[in-house]
Amino acid sequence: MEYTDEIYDYIERHIDAVPAELARLERQSYLRMVHGRMCSGHHQGRLLKMLVEMIRPKRILELGTFTGYATLCMAEGMAAAGSADGRVDTIEIFDENEDFLREAFAGSPYGGMVNLIIGDALEVMPGMAPECYDLIFIDADKRVYPEYYAECKRLLAPGGYMIADNTLWDGHVVNPERRDKQTMGVKRFNDIVAADPEVEKVIIPLRDGLTLIRKRPTD
């Protein structure tokens, strides 16, 4: 089934609406950022919120904050699950986003649950304690998804979840002629996850593809 505008609108009318400040944030992402479409948006944002409510993590890590849309959806999910003391650590490399992000977090009832880290995820993560997160949302540089995976596995508690965005990469993953660095990064990531016996995995073909990965609990 093709994800046409008609289907998009139909879904829009049949799922939960977003809080006003999130709708504003999505609009601002398109108005003030060059690549506004990188923002998770309504459909994926509601899914992230619901997954967080189901998984009930106490600590979340996000790689790639952009305008903070997914960050706030996940914080909202934590609050809805009764973990108002939960925390979302989120890493963004592009320091010019910082003022926008501080404003977005200040304008949200869940902004106090967010810890923004400006830096390169691959440099920040090695300084973090092992097994300290219950959920990690991978959504930064597609070229280095395999490197993120290795580090995220170390940071994830047994039984914890990763959610990786863009894992179908506009369908390029099934095109053998696409050999650019981003496509190759996503393909390598998908192959590594598929071959890893230490995790369970499913791919949801929503938007650009979301992979849900569960690190098997230790006995």
Ligand X SMILES: C[S@@+](CC[C@H](N)C(=O)[O-])C[C@H]1O[C@@H](n2cnc3c(N)ncnc32)[C@H](O)[C@@H]1O
Apex 162 CA angle, 45 and 74, nearest 5 = 30
Determine the interface stretch with ligand X among 61-69, 127-135, 184-192, 193-201 (rule: CB under 6 A): 61-69
**Applying CB under 6 A, which part among 36-44, 77-85, 156-164, 200-208 lies near ligand X?**
36-44
**Given candidates 19, 21, 38, 81, which one binds ligand X under the rule CB under 6 A?**
38
Asked if residue 121 binds ligand X (CB under 6 A), the reply is yes
The Cα 105–Cα 114 span in angstroms is 7
Per DSSP, the residues of 145-160 read HHHHHHHHHHHEEEEE
Determine the interface stretch with ligand X among 65-73, 75-83, 155-163, 168-176 (rule: CB under 6 A). Answer: 65-73
Could you say whether residue 118 binds ligand X (CB under 6 A)?
A: no
Is residue 18 a contact partner of residue 46, using CB atoms and an 8 Å limit? yes
Minimum CB separation of residue 13 from ligand X in Å reads: 22
Q: Among residues 76, 89, 134, 141, which is the contact residue for ligand X, using CB under 6 A?
A: 141
Does 72 interact with ligand X (rule: CB under 6 A)? no
Q: Which is nearer to ligand X, 39 or 78 (CB)?
A: 39
Angle between helices 41-55 and 20-32 (to 10 degrees): 130
Residues 160 to 219 in contact with ligand X, rule: CB under 6 A: none
| Residue 77 contacts ligand X per CB under 6 A | no
Cα gap 156→2, rounded to integer Å = 35
Cβ-in-10-Å burial (0-12, 13-18, 19+) of 171 comes to exposed
Looking at the Cβ atoms of 116 and 140, the one nearer to ligand X is 140
Asked if residue 18 binds ligand X (CB under 6 A), the reply is no
Report if residue 104 touches ligand X, rule: CB under 6 A.
no
Between 127 and 176, CB nearer to ligand X = 127
Chain contacts with ligand X (rule: CB under 6 A): 38-40, 63-64, 66, 69-70, 91-94, 120-122, 139-141
